[in-house]
């Protein structure tokens, strides 16, 4: 069975099967091992119950409707869609604003716009690795699409945002597609650790939710600089 994505490409839908096995591995060592390591020991045990339901293949099958890739498979590309209650032209303009990407993707990479559709990206992983690369806008259609890619290396090799009107006048469906090139083909929990505990599918979701908040409210929700009885208070 083939799934047609918003950008018109198709590919085999092997997602449910692959997600089922791949994601169970995640439950133990990837997302579970990193994101949920925040929890107490008992909480993690409770997560095992939640996790068993989360990764039920019957549920995962539907993920293809909004996001084709589920974590790290053999094709490290993720897509995520979110409706935003503003016209496509406004969203296009804000995405193109040089100040936007550094804010909404700040949790992933340090991004420095250098003009002419170019930006420098730098990721410092918690494993002591760091990578820097340049992204260049390679295609754009006002109000519809912006695509940027590297001409070779880089952890993120392609980043594409698309806008199309939602049905019923409910704003604009905004789809973010990101293609990764994990160093050494690193997988699972290693990749998750590299991205500060955020695995790719969730990463696209976080970036788009940040974008939506920025568009609608002018700010991004945060726990930075808040009080807590520990060193990293976030």
Partner 1 sequence: MRALYWNGVNDLRVGTVKDPEIVNPRDAILKVTLSTTCGSDLHFIDGYIPTMKAGDVIGHEFMGEVVEVGSAVKRVKKGDRVVVPSFIACGECWYCQENLFSLCDCTHPKPELQEPLLGYPTAGIYGYTHAFGGYAGSHAEYIRVPHADVDCFTVPEGVADETALFLSDAAPTGYMGADFCSIRPGDTVAVWGCGGVGLMAQQSARLMGAERVIAIDRYPERLRMAREHAGSETLDYTQVHSVLEALKEMTGGRGPDACIDAVGMEAHGTGPQYAYDRVKQALRLETDRGQALREAIMACRKGGTLSVLGVYGMIDAFPMGVIMNKGMTVRTAQQHGQAYMDRLLAHAAKGELNPAYLATHRFSLEDGPRGYDMFKHKTDGCVRAVFAP
Residues within the interface to partner 1 (CB under 8 A): 31, 35-36, 38-50, 53-54, 82-83, 85, 170-171, 198-199, 202-203, 205-206, 209, 212-213, 216-230, 233-234
Long-range contacts of 106-112 (CB under 8 A, 24+ apart): 107/196, 107/198, 107/206, 107/210, 108/195, 108/196, 108/198, 108/203, 108/207, 109/155, 109/156
Whose Cβ is closer to partner 1: residue 31's or residue 133's?
31
Least distance between partner 1 and beta carbon 205 (Å):
6
Whose Cβ is closer to partner 1: residue 71's or residue 150's?
71
Least distance between partner 1 and beta carbon 153 (Å):
26
Least distance between partner 1 and beta carbon 121 (Å):
20
Least distance between partner 1 and beta carbon 199 (Å):
8
Whose Cβ is closer to partner 1: residue 7's or residue 222's?
222
Alpha-carbon span 87 to 35, nearest angstrom = 34
Whose Cβ is closer to partner 1: residue 115's or residue 218's?
218
φ and ψ at residue 37, rounded to 5 degrees:
-65, -10
Structure-block tokens of residue 104: 């909404």
């Amino acid at each position: 069975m083939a799934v047609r994505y918003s950008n018109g490409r198709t590919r085999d839908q092997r997602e449910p099967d692959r997600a089922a096995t791949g994601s169970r591995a995640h439950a133990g060592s990837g997302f579970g091992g990193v994101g949920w390591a925040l929890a107490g020991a008992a909480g993690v045990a409770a997560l095992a119950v939640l996790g068993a339901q989360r990764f039920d293949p019957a549920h995962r099958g539907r993920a293809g409707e909004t996001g084709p890739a589920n974590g790290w498979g053999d094709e490290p590309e993720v897509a995520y869609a979110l409706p935003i209650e503003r016209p496509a032209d406004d969203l296009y303009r804000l995405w193109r604003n040089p100040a936007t990407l550094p804010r909404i993707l700040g949790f992933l990479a340090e991004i420095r716009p250098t003009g002419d559709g170019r930006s420098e990206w730098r990721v410092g992983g918690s494993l002591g690795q760091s990578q820097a690369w340049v992204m260049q806008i390679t295609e754009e259609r006002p109000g519809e699409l912006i695509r940027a890619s590297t001409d070779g290396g880089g952890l993120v090799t392609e980043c594409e945002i698309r806008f199309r009107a939602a049905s019923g006048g409910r704003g604009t469906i905004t789809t973010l597609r990101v293609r990764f090139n994990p160093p050494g083909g690193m997988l699972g929990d290693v990749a998750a650790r590299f991205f500060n505990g955020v695995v790719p599918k969730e990463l696209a979701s976080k970036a788009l939710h940040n974008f939506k908040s920025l568009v609608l409210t002018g700010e991004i929700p945060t726990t930075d600089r808040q009080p807590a009885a520990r060193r990293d208070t976030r």
